[in-house]
Structure formats: structure tokens, C-alpha cells
Structure 1
Amino acid sequence: MKAWEATIRKTQAAKKQASNIFGSAHVAHVDDEDIDQDESLHAPGEVYHAERYLSNGDYYTGNWSDNFPHGFGKYWWTDGCMYVGDWFQGKTMGRGTFSWPSGAAYDGEFKSGYMDGEGTYTGPNGDTYRGQWIMNLKHGHGVKEYTNGDVYDGDWCRGFQEGNGKYEWKDGSVYVGEWKDGTMCGQGKLVWPNGNTYEGQWEDGCPKGNGELKWADGCSLVGNWSKDPAEQNLRFCSAGGEDLKRDPQEVYDVFLQDCVICPPDKVPILPSQKKLALWRSAKGHEPPERPRRMSVDGRLEASVDKDLSNMRMLDDSERCMKARDDASLLSSNNTYEGSPIRIPKVVKKQGETISKGHKNYELMLNLQLGIRHSVGRPGPTPSLDLKASAFNPKEKVWTRFPPEGSKYTPPHQSCEFKWKDYCPLVFRTLRMLFKVDAADYMLSICGNDALRELSSPGKSGSFFYLTHDDRYMIKTIKKAEVKAILRMLSAYYNHFRVFEHTLLTKFYGLHCVKLTGPAQKKVRFIIMGNLFCTDYTIHRRFDLKGSSLGRLTDKPESEIQTTTILKDLDLNFMFRLQKTWIQEFRRQIDRDCDFLEQERIMDYSLLVGLHFKDTNDFISDNGDPPIDYASDPGGSILGINMHAQVERMERKNEMELIGEPTGVCYDVVMFFGIIDILQDYDITKKLEHAYKSFQYDPTSISAVDPRQYSRRFRDFILKIFIEDA
């Protein structure tokens, strides 16, 4: 292995020298021709051995097919990382070994680029974990041996000890019992080398609750334990009737001092985050590639290929596959045969461009000026640990924008207006948490391209504005909605910090434009992510609440466009997710619904978008196969670019929410998230519920108490999202 790495380094040095002498463009061009000639000798789908010296310095040797590693091969990155093992169409899939330059290594099973299955990880310090993994995280049963001599043998959940397990310290102390989030928590027993034992309840690694501490001499303390002496309620039992004094705090101050749990591993970069430099054909057979976009729901980092050669960087966690490749990967064992489905008319760009003369042109200019001012205003780099004062609803900044400009604002062609920035530090920190670059954010909203206006498909009367790149959506909101988000902002912020896979809408800014003059008109805006910012064509869109009253679009299929929002009673599919996804989905739906219920929010919905992958199963309105504009879709995480199946269902009557599955399935790419999370259960909604209850079944009404709404919503969603067996 060492000799192989040395050969690679020498080859790279020679290539770098050649680049300096002849120019990098010329060398890259020669490589393109060689690879194209090599590809032309092999039929599509043929697997053969190949060596690839890639123009960024990476090196691959092994089985190759259709411009992807496929079979057994070795890939070496210039930073020193290396993978040796099985590949499937550009993804690490099967058995393999991934090593880091630090000396760390993982040997085990991979799935779709992730450490997934049985595997052994050895850290740079020598710590070793042998056991089960799911999506790069220790999950299931595993044994971890630490270099200091400690050993843990037991259950793991999402990277931490959780469940039942046994921890042995190097000094001979042993804990056997329950764990949570990497600490002793629940029922357990700890035995010290000197014969002392504690058996009972634990919390955060310390005795808490009912338990018994027994010394080696037979004396014991029984009762309620707590670090706080005021909460302790203990009874001393002497072994020989002697009146010996024992201090309960000795457990916390002395006994547990050496019983420290070793911290978890810190992996600088995961195998699924490594990019592969793969080659496109230089012959021009493929259509021009569209720029990669960030899913502005905030869950994928922006990525634009800047290399002018034909090299294309692929990230294992953001794998770009053609639709047929995805279908073959995910449906190789699929026994379903779907019947043709009509694909709606494609609308390339949604909305009306706001140009000069548009009624909201000046409002758009005001908005762009204000955003540029707010985001560009210098300030200290925010910390993720915000003070409570940052969330104060009174924490807002007013700025006056006269046409002639001022000390802090530029001159502009619009009318004079005032700009209000709500809780600016919180939203600046949220953008940092969501990995949004300030310059890219300003360019998307305030660049030379105009916004596009959408009229609201709902009853709120709000207007929506899309940025030119579809990344961000700007919505006009009411004063009550502003109050709602400010009231729950602290809890919302903490929810996103704790749950990275939350499906809630991501908010990037909250602002207000106040026009001067007699009208004194105020327009309030919230900036959020566009869930459907993707190069995939979204063929079907559903807004799902779990209620039936008024939840029917009532359009014939021939009139449905790609922008048509269908509702609960229009839904004719069940969504089938892979096992690892469905488990995480159920957990996250429960967490998000609990959060919304606690904040007294209702009337939210799950927005679902479907891209049907196998165009052979489809017919368009003119009888031709539909055009798919998705040349470079991104990789999948929960709710974004998820490869799944949908199964047709049929209702016995049109008012039935969930029909019977038919067994007819289609391969899809799914997008989904929880939207409209700013509706309080206020007096208006209470009156609406009371009024409609006289006319309709109260359970069918959307406006219900947040607890009832949450229960009904999650019950419905968890019935239509099922495991793909």
C-alpha cells in the first residue's frame, strides 16, 4: 500500500510539472481525448479495468463502467484519504476500507456512500469500535475499546450509547444498565473495585431517584438520591447496629470522580462527504449542464462546478445520477410494474417577473435595498449560544431610506421608506446555522435579476415572491403572524439546533417596509427556503393536512399543471420510504408536531413534491414522453431529493381520506417539508371552528385545537408514509 501511494505522489508531481511547462489546459485536453478513446472501446454498461489520473490530482484504479467506478477499486484523494473496496455506479457500496491521513480507518460495509452495516472504526488515537452502523453513525449493538483501557459493550443510537450497556473502566469499576445520549441514565448498577455498589436510578451520569448505595462493610443508604442535598431523602442502615456516619455527597464528590465516560470520536470528514472527480465525455453527447443549486430549505450546501475542464466533482452525500441509474439502483429487486400515468404540463418558470411599471416594482426595490443594508451591515461574528435578550420581540432596528441617501444608506430611485429589521442577530445566526453565505444570499435576492411574483394559492391573501434562482421565497405576512414567530423564535431556534433533520420551514429573515406619506402603508415580509429548488421537474405537488372539508382541488387530470397544488382528497398515492428513512421520518414528524403543539400552532401542512423518474411509464398531454430538465439533481437527505416509490391507491368514495393500495408502484424523487407554521389558534380560528361545527362534521374541519390538529395530522401522515419492504 505504501509503495502504491508513493507511485501516486510521483505521478502527481510529474503531472504538475507538465502542467507548469505546457499549460494545464493542454494537459487536461489530452486526458479528455485518452479517456474518450478508452470509453469508445467499451459498450455501455460494460465493466472493465481502468486507471484514472484525474486533473485535480486524485487517482483511481479498478473496475469502471459508464464513467463511474463500478466493482472493486481504489480511490486516492489528494488530501491523503483513500477508499479500497466495492463500488456501485460511483458510490461506495458493499465491503470496503476507508482510511484518513490521520491514521484513522473504517473497515466494513458501505451503503450509498455511508458507513452502514457491520464495520470497525479505529480512531487516530487508537480507540476502536466494532459493531453496527447506520448512515455514518454507530447505531445498534457495538463494542468500543478506548486506548486508556475503558471498554463499552452495548446498544448505540445515532452515535451515542443509548439503551442497555456495560461500561468497564481501567481501574476495574463496572456499570451495567441503561444509557441515554452517551450517559448513564435510567436503571443501573455500578460496582467499584473496593466492593462499594450503587444500584438504582441514574440521570446525566449521576444517581438520581430511588436507589441504594452499599459499602463493602455492609452499611447502606437507601432512598431518594440527588446532587442537591435539599432533594435527598435517605435512610442509613448499619451492618452491625453501629451508629456510623456516612456522607451521601461522597458518591458525587469522591466515588464518581474516576468514573468518567470517554468522549465520542470527532471525524473531520466523513466518507459520504468526500467528492469524486469523475469525467464527462468530451464528445458533446450530453446536454449542457445546469449550475448546481443549493436546496434553500437549507439542507444541501451550494455547489457550482468552477473547473473549466471536463472534470466534474461529485459528493457521495450529494450524488448526481441519471434517472435510469437511480431507478436501477433502487429498483433492481422491484417486482411492481406501473401503468402509464399522465404527466402535467411543464411550466418552466413560475410567476410574473416584477419589471418597471409593475404595481409592486417600487416595493421590490425597497425590499432589495433593505436586505442589502441588513445583511451587509458589519457586525461581530455571531455565536450559536445567543443571549435571551437577542430574542426579545422589542429587539428591532428601524432605518430611514431617503431617495438622496444618508450616512448609512445609498441614494436610490424609489420613494422614501423606512425599513425594520426584527431580531437581526437571531436571523443572522440562523443563516449561519443553515450554512448560508451572506454574499450568495444578497446576490439571490438583491442581484440584477428581478423577483417573480406569485399569487397565493390559499385563502390567506398573502403574496409570494421567488428569487430569480428559485432559492428563496419571500412571503407577505400579517401582523399576527409576525407576533407568532417572534413569540416562538427562541424555541424555534433551539429546535433547529437540536434536530438537524427537522422538516419545519427554514426562516432567514423577518422585515417590514413602511412607506412614508399619507398612507403610511406597512408591508411585512418573511424570507424562507423554497422547498422545490431543484433541477428535477416536480410533476405532482400535494398540500396535506389530514382534514377533508374543502380539501379537494376538483380539477380534471388534463388541466393539472406542474404548479397545481393538489390537496388531501386529490391524493391518489401512498409514499414508500426505505427502512432507514421511514424510521427517521417517523421520529422527526413526532418531534416537529410536538414542537408545534407546544407553541399552539395549527393549520400547518406537509408540502410534498414528486418527480417521476422512469419516463417510459409516462405520457404527456401531447402523447410524447415528458421532458425532464433535471440534468444534475443533488443527493438525498430527509425531505430533499429522496429516492422512493409511490403506490397508487383507490378510494371507495370521494370523501375517504385514505384509499386501498393497488400494488401499482412508480419510482420517484421526493421533496417534502412542513409549511405554514405561523397560524396561532386565536379567537378567529376558534370562531371559525364553532361556526363550521354547526354545518359540518367537526373532525373534518381544518381549524381545530392545536393538540387535536397535531394528533390528526401525524396520524394521517404516518398512514400514507409507509416502509418500502
Structure 2
Amino acid sequence: MSKVLVGILKAVEAKLRKSQASAKKGAISIFTTMSVAHVDDEASDADVCQTEKIFPNGDIYIGQWATDYPHGNGKYLWPDGCMYLGEWYKGKIRGKGKFSWPSGSTYEGQFKNGYMNGGGTFTGSLNDTYRGSWVMNRKQGKGTQSYANGDHYEGEWRKGFHDGQGRYHWSSGHQYIGQWKKGKMNGNGTMIWANGNRYDGSWEDGLPKGNGTFHWQDGSFYAGVWSRDQKEQSGKFYPSTSQDPHDDWDPNQLFSVEMGECLICEGENISIFPSDKTFSWSSGEGKPPRKNSSGNDTKGRRVSVDGRLSNCDTLTSEGNSGNGLFSGSRKIRTQPTKRQGVTICKGHKNYELMLNLQLGIRHSVGRPAPTKSLKLKPTAFDAEQKLWTKFPPEGSKHTPPHQSCEFKWKDYCPLVFRTLRKLFNVDTADYMLSICGNDALRELSSPGKSGSFFYLTNDDKYMIKTMKKSEVKVLKRMLPAYFEHVKSFENTLVTKFFGLHCVKLSGPIQKKVRFVIMGNLLCTEVPIHRRFDLKGSSHGRITDKPESEIDANTTLKDLDLKFIFRLQKDWFQEFCSQVNKDCDFLEQERIMDYSLLVGISFQDTEATEGKDEPDCIRTSSISSTDVDLNPTRWASVRLGINMPARVEFTVRSHETQLVGEPTGEFCNVILFFGIIDILQDYDISKKLEHAYKSFQYDSTSISAVDPRLYSKRFRDFIFRVFADDS
């Protein structure tokens, strides 16, 4: 226990002896000096007073206090030696303040809901210092970091890493000025060594990659293409009038020797954040039950160190409209997740088609790549060339023997899709192993609305969809614009396409099967308890299954949704920006009928031994999202992937209401989402469908509408069911 805490405990020891009886019942009010006016009009209906409180677990609070919580200025001390001194708002650390750790580290600056958020300075126990912008405990925005070993960085940050434009000075005298990505030199930049030598050019993953020039102080320079792979290197040496010809210099020295001195020093690891700390008034000891916005009693709750709930009752509510998915006890029935689909074994009607598909992909993906550049010529997008490869069972000069029937294989725009796989960071060997390995594919039990069949790889990474000729035509038409869009926006939510192929089966009819390979959005190690396909329309947008048949693999629709998804502020802003960019792209390409696929993994569950159906705990007392602050966990979080968030439950006043009214009851979740089904253009069939259904139903409630109207309706809906969690 810290000396400061011991001193305060001794100072109040006499008063504590007189109050032992009341201490057992809850917090002890040591003294109240005077009643003061409200701190602000929104704060509370009760007066705020100056007080000191000692809690049974050893926590101490000194400062301004409303009826049930701190409000105004105050100091809080924990038995482990942590201390907060600053502003409070309705029991939450919010405003300007200072947090100190037992190690001697301090943070002084802005807080929001317990998180270091806004401008602030962190000083570590080794005198390493960061001054700048914070978002949810992470360095984000502009800031400067002075490291304990003498290194210094000044520039842009994102999610705790150097990201954007910045300058790094090493204590050895080296410096780098340029672009960064996830803590590594990436993009265009200049490295200047202490001896005056410098490199100007492209970087990737912390090393020179691409076009660049290395300059010596005497005026000599080497210009060319740089890579750790010597086969990719090329360049020319240009001597100066200096006597030193640099004959002993090898371009590889840049990677093996000189770059080895330029290591980025990490800052101090924070063992526990202010937002992780608990407060004794959260337990609700001695307080009457509070009411949520639906009028239900809620039992007092205490938030544990990892941000989860304990000692909570499952809530019940009546009168829930819709198909009864969350009616009665309002429990989320999360039955054990079963793997989707049926394994395609020998004897399955599509067994030979699967073999043909695997043989074709192994052939096309395994061919040598002509280039690794992300810049493509217009000819690469020409899909009209008829380039078929015959696969006879006995094999040929270019194909292996196989046990299937004879078939023909066609790749559409192979260079484009090879480049897309590189852009999406897909390893070629892993890609082939997933699709063409020893494990069979799995066929989903029923075709989609379009009549297409879906297949999943055994590791769930990739989904293969059979396509109509019209869909292939749409993808080929939009491929140049799609390529530029995903290249420009790395966090795009639109479907990732990895290959477009066709198999022509032997026989008198010579049937063609066209298919596209896509990323599986819901491939994750955490269980997906609920999945929703959201369009923003109401006609026919409800699941027709009885509640007993709904499980984790059931795809629910708009009118089944009884949540509002609440994202952290920075994530929500990025989400809105990206949805707008993606919808602009789809609108320009005359695409409609797409949807947002959302997968939900509920985190607040009571898992008891032998219990198959953990219950999602609904609460109005959590003030901030349950965020795992482990750096390795954060590295896997991206927009739409592995995102910590909260869902707020809603109730509809009538069955056709798209978005219900929020209840103030929450549940911590991990979200996965993306925009799917982006290959339907507004062709003549969709125009006729719109005209026909408009006679029977409200024209704004049906899916088949003009792309411009569809885009607006989709955005309006999505921005109502996703919201800022502030």
C-alpha cells in the first residue's frame, strides 16, 4: 500500500472506530461540510456536498458527492496504490484529471468515461513521455513521444502506433522522415544516417521496397528497385568525382547492417488503465433497485476489473412484439454453434464439380506471376478473350492426370485477381491449401434466393458461389472501378473477390458452371451467436422460422432486429465515412439489392457447467464498451472485423416499424460486418419487379428500387441502427 494511502488512513482512523457498525452495511460518510448548489443543470436532481468516504474494500474517496456518486472535483484512492484526482460526472471519471500508478507513472489530461480521451500527457516510470491526442486509451492523432533511451518521435498516431506522416530521431543520430503504417516505415520516406548517407524512396514493413535512391555524402548514389529478395533487386551505381569508388558496397548491406541499428523503441506497458478500475458505488449495496427506461427493476451491479459484469440478474420483460425471438425472459438463446453445410464426399452429386474446381484453381493460382506491381494496364481487365484450358483425365503437357471426367477451365482476368489477392494480403500457398488441400469443401444446405449454390472451404476462410451469366457480366463490367475502389480504401466494407472462373463440363450439353471466390466475413475464432442480413426495407424482411428452429446459423432480417449497435466514437466516425464511400461506389455502378451482413458474438454470458444456453445479461449500468486492451488483441481489430461494441435492446410499437425504441439496456458484443451481394444491377427484370410490387405494396418498402433511392434508404437505415456509444 502506498505511503500516501497509509497517511490518509491514519488521519481518519479515529473517525472510523466510531463508525464500524455502519461500515459493515456500506460506505461510511465521514463528514459533510456544507451543501452547495448543483455543479451544473444536467448533473443531478440532488444537492452536491463535500465529503470523505471510506469503503469496506479499502477504497477512499474525498471530494464533491451527489446522492449516489461523485460529481464535481474529487480524489479516489485504491488499495493497490493507484490514485485519480480531477473531475467527475455522475460517478464517472470525465473531464480534466490526473491518474497515477504505484510505479510512478502518471497521466494528466482529458478523460471520458474513465478512458484517457482527448489531449493529455503520459509520463512513464523511466521518464518516457508522450504528449498529444488520445482516443479510448490509445495514442491517436498528433503527438510526440520521447523514449527512455533517448529516441524521439513526432507526428501522427493511430490506434497506438506511428501511422501517417512522422519524424523519428534515434539516439544514435539516425532519423527517418516520411510515412508510417502500424508502427513501421511504410510509403514514401527519407532515412538519414548519422554519417550523412541517406535513402529516399519507397518503404514497406519497415524496410526499403520499390523504387529508391541511396546517396553517399560524397555525391555518389545508387538508384534502382529495392527488395530483400535479391531476385527482385535491380539498379545502377552513379559515381561522383570523389576518390572513393565504393567498390565494396553491396545494396544488401542496407538491410543486413545499417538498418539493424534503427530499432523503434516501445514505450512503457501500462498494466491497468483508469477505465479498468472499479468503484464501490457500482455494487449498489444498500441502495433500492433502479428502474430502466422500460420501467423494469434492475439489481445493482459491480463492474469487475476486466470490465465485465458480475452478480447480475437476468431481466424479464413482457409485451415484446415481432416473432418472439427475445420474448418472455428476454434471453439470447445461444445454442452451441454447428458447422454450416454438408461435406462433399464421394457419391455427392457435386463431387466431380468440386474436383474440377480444385484442379482448375491449383493450375491457375500455381502459375508463375508475371508482375507484383499494383498498377495494371487496361488490357488486364479484358475478360472477352476466350482462353480455355482442357483437363483430360490422362493429363496433358500443361495439366496433371486426375480421376474426374474431362472438363474445360477458364480464368477471367487472372492478373487482376492475382493483384487483388496481393492487395488483400492473401498468401498464395495458404489460399491454395484452403481451397485445394486434402479437405473437402462443404455445400450449404440450400441455394440462395438467386438460385446460386454456396460452398465453404474446410477452414471457413473462403466462400465459393455459383453465378448466373448476368452476375458475371456485372462483375466484369465493374471490375476496373472495383479494383480502384478497394485499392484506395483499405477498410472498405464491400465483399472481397479473389477469383472468377468457369468450368465447362463434358457431355452433349456441355453445361457451364461459373463461380466466384470470396472472403468469408464470419470466419472467426469467437462464436457467432446471431447473424443479420440488413437492407433497410420492410416488405418480406422477417424470418419465417419458428423460434425453436432459430439458431446461430439462421440468417435473420431487418424486422427481426431488436438492437441498436453502439460503436466507440472513433470507430463510428470511420464506419460512417466508409459506408458513405462504399455506397457512392455502388450507386455509381448502378448496383442495388446489396445488404449489410452483421455477425454478433455476445460477451456478457453466464457460462455454467453443463449449461448449453448462456444468457445475455441486459443492463443499463455499464458506462463504456468492454474493450480488451491487450495489444495483441488490438492488432486483430479492424473496421468490421473483431470489433468490441455494445448492443442496446429496442422494442417496436408495431410490427412493421424498422427501428424500435431504445430501452437503455445493453449487452457487450464483438461485431463482424460487411456489405455483401453487390452484383445485382438495376436491369429490366428489377424494373419490372419494382413496377409489379408497387401495385400491391408501398413502393418504398420493397427491395427492388432505383440504385440512387436504394443507396439513400440503405444509408438512412444503417445510420439509425448503428450509433455513437458516447
TM-score, normalization: structure 2?
A: 0.58
Q: Take 2:495 and 2:264, find their aligned partners in 1: how far apart are those partners?
A: 27
Change (3 A) 1:707 1:336: farther
- Partner residue of 2:144 out of 104, 120, 125: 120
Offset, 1:96: 5.2
Which of the residues 466, 478, 483 maps onto 1:488?
Answer: 478
Report the alpha carbon displacement of residue 119 of structure 1 after superposing the two structures with TM: 2.7
The structure-2 alpha-carbon separation of the partners of 1:520 and 1:344, relative to structure 1 and needing over 3 Å to count, comes to same
Aligned to 2:576: 586
Deviations 1:231-250 (A, max 9, x none): xxxxxxxxxxxxxxxxxxxx
Q: Matched residues in 2 for 1:567 and 1:619: separation? A: 32
SS in 2 for 1:616: coil
CA RMSD in angstroms, aligned pairs only: 4.5
Q: Which residue of 1 aligns with 2:713?
A: 712
Residue pair 1:114, 1:272 contacting (<8 A) in 2 also: no
CA distance in 2, matches of 1:272, 1:380: 39
**Match status 1:379 vs 2:369:** yes
Shift of 1:143: 11
In the alignment, which residue of structure 1 is the partner of 2:701? 700
Q: Which residue of 2 aligns with 1:389?
A: 379
SS at 1:698's partner residue? coil
Q: What's the offset of the Cα at 1:622? A: 5.8
Alignment partner of 1:354 is 2:344: yes
Taking the TM superposition and a 5 Å limit, the aligned residue runs for 1:281-320 are none
Matched, 1:511 2:501: yes
Separation in structure 1 between the aligned mates of residue 609 and residue 450 of structure 2, nearest angstrom = 35
- Residue in 1 aligned with 2:212? none
Instruction: Give, in whole Å, the separation in 2 of the partners of 1:271 and 1:701.
Output: 56
CA contact (8 A) 2:537 2:702 kept: yes
Deviations 1:298-342 (A, max 9, x none): xxxxxxxxxxxxxxxxxxxxxxxxxxxx98556699x99966523
Q: Return the letter of the residue paired with 2:667.
A: Y
The 1:272/1:508 distance shift into structure 2, 3 A limit, reads farther
Q: Say whether residues 1:678 and 2:679 are aligned partners.
A: yes
1:671-714 CA-partner distances (Å, limit 9, x unpaired): 00000000011111111111111111100010000000000000
How far off its partner does 1:715 sit?
0.5
For the residues of structure 2 that align with 1:508 and 1:579, how far apart are their CA atoms?
32
Alignment of 1:547 onto 2:537: yes
> Do the aligned residues in 2 keep the contact of 1:686 with 1:704 (CA within 8 Å)?
yes
Give the equivalent residue in structure 1 for 2:433. Answer: 443
Question: CA offset at residue 133 of structure 1?
Answer: 6.2
Contact 2:144-2:152 at 8 Å conserved across structures: no
Q: Does structure 2 conserve the Cα–Cα contact (< 8 Å) formed by 1:396 and 1:424? A: no
- Is 1:614 matched with 2:624? no
Tell me the alpha carbon deviations over residues 659-678 of structure 1, each in whole angstroms, 9 at most, x when there is no partner: 10011110000000000000
Contact 1:342 1:621 survives alignment (8 Å): no
Cα contact 1:354–1:451 (8 A) shared by 2:
yes
Are 1:559 and 2:530 counterparts? no
> Equivalent residue for 1:665?
666
Q: Deviations over 1:213-242 (max 9, x none)?
A: xxxxxxxxxxxxxxxxxxxxxxxxxxxxxx
Q: Which amino acid aligns with 1:371?
A: I
Residue-by-residue CA offset, 1:142-175 (whole Å, 9 max, x unaligned): 999999xxxxxxxxxx99xxxxxxxxxxxxxxxx
- Contact 1:338/1:617 (<8 A) preserved: no
Contact 1:507 / 1:529 at 8 angstroms: preserved in 2? yes
Separation of aligned partners in 2, 1:696 and 1:272: 61
Distance 1:507 1:145, change over 3 A: closer
Query: In structure 2, do the counterparts of structure 1 residues 273 and 444 end up closer, same or farther at CA, with 3 Å as the change threshold?
Result: farther
Distance 1:442 1:327, change over 3 A: farther
3-state DSSP of counterpart to 1:459: coil
CA separation of 1:493 and 1:664: change in aligned 2, threshold 3 A: same
> Contact 2:687/2:704 (CA < 8 Å) preserved in 1?
yes
Offset at 1:47? 7.3
Q: Distance in 1 between matches of 2:613 and 2:401?
A: 54
What is the rounded CA distance, in whole Å, between the counterparts of 2:360 and 2:447 in structure 1?
27
Residues 645, 409 of structure 1: alpha-carbon distance in 2 compared, 3 angstrom cutoff: same
Q: CA deviation at 1:106?
A: 5.9
Maintained 8 Å contact 1:343/1:618:
no
Cα displacement (A) at 1:555: 3.0
Aligned to 2:564, which of 574, 597, 617?
A: 574
Question: Which amino acid in the other structure matches residue 505 of structure 1?
Answer: T
Read off the aligned partner of 1:611 and give its amino acid letter. S
- Structure 1 residue matching 2:507: 3-state secondary structure: coil
- Quick one: distance in 2 between partners of 1:421 and 1:275? 50
- Aligned pairs for 1:215-614 within 5 A: 329=306, 341-395=331-385, 397-456=387-446, 458-614=448-604
Change over 3 Å in CA distance of 1:269–1:619 after alignment to 2: farther
How far off is 1:519 after superposition?
Answer: 1.8
Q: What's the offset of the Cα at 1:392?
A: 1.5
Question: How far is the alpha carbon of 1:516 from its aligned partner?
Answer: 1.6
SS at match of 2:645: strand
Go from structure 1 to structure 2 and tell me whether the alpha carbon gap of 1:47 and 1:507 turns closer, same or farther (over 3 Å shift): farther
Counterparts of 2:444 and 2:102, CA distance in 1: 50
**Residues 472 and 529, structure 1, Cα contact 8 Å, conserved in 2:** yes
Secondary structure at the residue paired with 2:700?
helix
Paired residue total: 473
C-alpha separation in 2, matches of 1:696 and 1:620 = 48
- Aligned residue for 1:342, secondary structure, equals coil
Q: 1:372 to 1:329 in 2, by over 3 A?
A: same
In structure 2, distance between residues paired with 1:274 and 1:440: 36
Write the distance in 2 (CA, Å) between the matches of 1:712 and 1:655.
Answer: 16
Matches within 5 A, 1:43-122: 114-116=138-140, 119-121=143-145
Deviates more, 1:616-625 or 1:432-441: 616-625
Letter in 1 for 2:346: K
2:398 counterpart SS class: coil
2:342–2:445 contact (8 Å) kept in structure 1: no
**For 1:271 and 1:432, how far apart are their aligned partners in 2?**
30
CA distance in 1, matches of 2:168, 2:266: 25
Letter of the 1:375 counterpart? V
Change (3 A) 1:720 1:113: same
Instruction: Report percent identity of matched pairs.
Output: 59
**Distance (whole Å) between structure 2 residues aligned to residue 518 and residue 376 of structure 1:** 31
Q: Aligned pair in 2 of structure 1 residues 376, 699: CA closer, same or farther (>3 Å)?
A: same
Tell me if the contact between 2:646 and 2:666 (Cα under 8 Å) persists in the aligned partners: yes
In the other structure, the counterpart of 1:690 is 691
Change in CA separation of 1:338 and 1:394 when aligned onto 2, cut-off 3 Å: farther
Deviation of the 1:345 alpha carbon: 2.5
Whole-angstrom CA distance in 1 between matches of 2:268 and 2:349: 48
Alpha-carbon distance, 1:349 to partner:
1.2
| Partner residue in 2 for 1:638 | 639
Residue 427 of structure 1 aligns with an amino acid whose one-letter code is F
> What amino acid is aligned across from residue 659 of structure 2 in structure 1?
I
Mapped partners of 2:556, 2:717: distance in 1: 16
TM-score, structure 1 length as denominator?
0.58
Which residue identity does 2:336 align to in structure 1? V
Go from structure 1 to structure 2 and tell me whether the alpha carbon gap of 1:138 and 1:355 turns closer, same or farther (over 3 Å shift): closer
How far, CA to CA, are the matches of 2:304 and 2:692 in structure 1?
A: 49
Distance verdict in 2 for CA 1:144–1:404, change over 3 Å: closer
Q: Secondary structure at the match of 1:412?
A: coil
What is the CA-CA distance between 1:558 and the residue it aligns to?
2.9
Aligned to 2:723: 722
Distance 1:505 1:691 in 2: 30
Structure 2 residue aligned with 1:22: none
1:403–1:415 CA contact under 8 A, matched in 2: yes
Are the structure 2 counterparts of residues 445 and 456 from structure 1 closer, same or farther at C-alpha, using a change threshold of 3 Å? Answer: same
Residue identity opposite 2:694 in structure 1: S
SS of the residue corresponding to residue 562 of structure 1 reads coil
Higher relative contact order (CA 8 A, sep 6+): 1
Q: Distance in 1 between matches of 2:585 and 2:268?
A: 34
